[in-house]
Amino acid sequence: MTLDTQFLVSLALIGATFALYIGIAIFNTAKQTSDFYVASRGVPPVFNGMAIGADWMSAASFIGLAGTVMVLGYDGLAYIMGWTGGYLLLTFLLAPQLRKYGRYTVPEFIGDRYRSNTARLIAAVATIIISFTYSVGQLSGSGVVIGRLLEVDTAIGTLIGVVLIAFYSAMGGMKGITWTQVAQYLVLIIAYLIPVIFMSLQLTQNPAPWISYGEIIGEMRELDRELGISEYVVPFTEATKWQFLALMFTLMAGTAGLPHVIVRFYTVATMKAARWSGAWALLFIGLLYLSAPVYAAFSRFILMTQVANTQLDNLPAWTEPWINTGQLSVADTNGDGMLQWQELTISNDIVVMATPEIANLGVFVIGLMAAGAMAAALSTAGGLMIAISAALSHDIYYRSINPKASESKRLYVGRLSIVLATVAAGLLALNPPGAITQIVAWAFALASGSFFPALLLGVWWKRANGPGVIAGMVTGLTVTLSYIFAAKYLGFTILGIIDTGAGVFGAASAIIANIVVSLNTAPPSQETLDEVTDLRYPEQIKYKDGEVWLKE
């Protein structure tokens, strides 16, 4: 294998997938605003499930999740359960009802349900801030992948991603994005599963890694015991039990509150389709999330048995590029010429990206892996861009600034705001400030302190009113940000809960504030109360003035 062959194969695979995404967008050009924002509500649930999967699984999930689980051991599993459990809250408590309410965006639901323009604007601004910082992370991630695999500068990689997303999301809007995300899901899941299946065959002679990796875990426990280090599977070695629980809650509530995910449930026509979309989505997401701990176990086992305890000048050939880029660091601290396990420092990103080389799967799989990582980054960035554009062009421009805007004017503003947002995020991604990485890590805490309580009470408690939700969102965001600051910089923690678990306090305080203020101000109008009661029943039922009607 020469470098040139690898370069050509990676380039061809990435080029082919890019051409596919652009082709899909051209074929699905948005012609009206309902195409642009909600794909005309015509997406079948299975495909919506795939699109939700791609929308949801970011570059960080694809590249970094398995590594996080490997480095943190049991404690990393909070991410697995938290990010999947969010779909329970979303599908059981929010998605079908939001679907029946039938708007274009999450801020629009909050504004109309609570009859408050202020609430809509707060939600729109929160959507823009959360989605924008999140997309900067995706774009810089795609820059790193393109840069490394095509051996070009990271900046050029980022720019390629920016041009591509700006082009296809502005053209197709939600309609185009939906079908590109379906294609991107298929690319990323195939790329993720092939290496782990081959690695399973090599290590355990069993093609089903999810079943076979138990024996590898067993062997690793022996190795850990011989080394006298804390065992891989032992809980709460990195943080307290309460931090684990708080982080898991924050990730769940944050997932259920992220606007770019919720809006995908607006692309179907019925509550039934929303429930099935949620089920399919978690199945498709589960294929990756169930495999991440397997990657983690296999990689750690290989590092322990094939890299550790070898002579420093006789390490396996695949380690060299990773050592050169500093992602694998080997320091012979005791100077005996041998590499001990304790002398190895491993970056999270290695686990998935190095697997094709470790398992010797050849140029095609390495190229596929690159295309998969790109698909994960682009699909999430595309969904985020739609959320930002909808907040700007629909919630702020159309609903607040120019309600008389014509259909074509609204489409134009929608497209323009996608291009501007993508370019702005791309420029920031060229040299991401440290703050961006931090805000991405806090996005879930912020969403669980703001959107989740507002949506939950909006759907399930009809007495909640405008002043209540404004107080709730402001209190939730304030408490979340204050706790993050206090935990991160002042060393103040409760029960060992650190900044990443702050959402639990944010959500609790937002719910309390919403309830207290709502009860002490005037109740919502009868019309609002009826609207919320209406959400209890299926699409076919209309509730009005205490009477229930069946539409035929």
Partner 1 sequence: MRKVERKKADAYFKYRTMMITIYLAIGFLVSYVVVFFAQELSSFTVMGIPFSYYMGAQGAVLTFIILLFINAIVSDKIDKKFGFNPEYVDTNDD
The residues binding partner 1 (CB under 8 A) are 34, 41, 69, 74, 77-78, 80-81, 84-85, 87-88, 91-93, 102, 210-211, 213-215, 217-218, 233-236, 241, 244-245, 248, 269-272, 275-276, 278-279, 282-283, 286, 289-290, 293, 536-543, 546-552
Cβ count within 10 A of residue 278: 24
- For 133, what's the count of Cα atoms within 13 Å in the CB-facing half-sphere? 20
CB atoms inside a 10 Å sphere around CB 192:
27
- CA dist 394 and 432 (Å) reads 28
* b/e map 200-210, b = 16+ CB within 10 Å: beebbeeeebe
Q: How far apart are CB 236 and partner 1 at their closest, in Å?
A: 7
Least spacing, CB of residue 204 vs partner 1, in Å: 11
Tokens of 172: 């197709």
CB of 549 to partner 1, least distance (A): 4
* Cβ proximity of 81 and 248 under 8 Å: yes
Q: Which is nearer to partner 1, 13 or 246 (CB)?
A: 246
Nearer to partner 1, 16 or 541 (CB): 541
**Sign of the alpha-carbon dihedral angle for 108, 109, 110, 116:** positive
Q: Which is nearer to partner 1, 12 or 229 (by Cβ)?
A: 229
Q: Are 428 and 137 in contact (CB under 8 A)?
A: no
CB-neighbour burial class of residue 421 (10 A; exposed 0-12, middle 13-18, buried 19+): buried
What letter would DSSP give residue 338?
E
Least distance from C-beta 101 to partner 1, angstroms? 10
Give whichever of 23 and 42 is closer to partner 1, judged by the CB atom: 42
- Which of 352/439 has CB closer to partner 1? 352
Least distance between partner 1 and beta carbon 312 (Å) = 33
Which CB atom, from 88 or from 125, has the smaller least distance to partner 1? 88
Nearest residue (CB) to partner 1, 129 versus 283:
283
Closest CA to 161 of 328, 441, 371, 408: 371
- Euclidean distance between CA atoms 305 and 107, whole angstroms: 52
Shortest distance, position 405 Cβ to partner 1, whole Å: 16
* Cβ 55 vs Cβ 383: under 8 Å: yes
Nearest approach, Cβ of residue 298 and partner 1 (Å)? 13
**What is the closest distance, in whole angstroms, from the C-beta atom of residue 74 to partner 1 in the complex?**
6
Query: Is 333:293 a contact under the CB 8 Å cutoff?
Result: no
Q: Which residue has the tokens 């939950």?
A: 456
Distance CA 23, CA 19 (A): 6
User: Residue 309, SS3?
Assistant: coil
Q: What is the largest CA-CA distance in the chain?
A: 83
CA 330 to chain centre: 32
Closest distance to partner 1 from the beta carbon of 547 (Å): 6
In the chain, the amino acid numbered 187 is V
Please identify, using beta-carbon distances, which residue of 202 and 206 lies nearer to partner 1. 206
Is 3 or 550 the residue whose CB approaches partner 1 more closely?
Answer: 550
Find the shortest distance in angstroms from Cβ 96 to partner 1.
Answer: 8
Residue type at 95? Answer: A
